Chains A and B, each alone.
Chain A
Amino acid sequence: MTRDVLARLLADLAAKRPAVLATDLASGEARLLHPSDPEPGGDPALLAAAREAAARDESARVEVAGATFFLRVFSPPVRVIVVGAVHIAQSLARMVQLAGYEAIVVDPRRAFATEARFEGIPLVQEWPDEALARLGLDRRTALVTMTHDPKIDDPALAAALRSDAFYVGALGSRKTQAARRERLRAQGFSDPALSRIHGPVGLPIGARSPGEIAVSILSQIVGALRGAPGSERAGA
Chain B
Amino acid sequence: MTSEALYHEALLRLARAAAGAARLDAPRRSARRDNPLCGDDVTVDVRVRAGRIEAAGHRVRGCVLCQAAATVLSGVAPGRSADEIALARGALAGMLRAGGPAPASPWEEFAVFLPVRDVPSRHACVLLPFDALLDALARAED
Q: A-side interface residues toward B, CB under 8 Å?
A: 107-111, 127, 149, 151-152
Contact = CB atoms under 8 A, between A and B. Distances in A.
A151 B36 contact: no
A109 B37 contact: yes
Interface in B24-63: 34-39, 41, 61-63
Contact of B41 (A107, A111, A127, A149): A127
Nearest to B37: A111
Contacts of A107: 39
**Which 7 pairs of residues, A with B, have the shortest CB-CB distance?**
A110-B36, A108-B39, A111-B36, A109-B39, A127-B61, A111-B37, A151-B63
Contacts of A151: 39, 62-63
A89 to B, nearest CB: 15
A127 B63 CA distance: 12
8 contacts: A108-B34, A108-B39, A109-B37, A109-B39, A110-B34, A111-B37, A127-B39, A152-B39
Interface residues of B, number: 10
Contacts of B63: 151
A175 to B, nearest CB: 14
Contacts of A152: 39
Interface of B: 34-39, 41, 61-63
B129 to A, nearest CB: 16
Contacts of B34: 108, 110
B43 to A, nearest CB: 12
A108 B41 contact: yes
A150 to B, nearest CB: 9
B60 to A, nearest CB: 11
A113 B39 CA distance: 11
A127 B36 CA distance: 12
B61 A108 contact: yes
A88 B38 CA distance: 18
Question: Which of A109, A110, A127, A152: most chain B CB closer than 10 A?
Answer: A109
B4 to A, nearest CB: 14
Nearest to B62: A151
Contacts of B41: 108, 127
A109 B39 CA distance: 4
Contacts of A127: 39, 41, 61
A152 B39 CA distance: 8
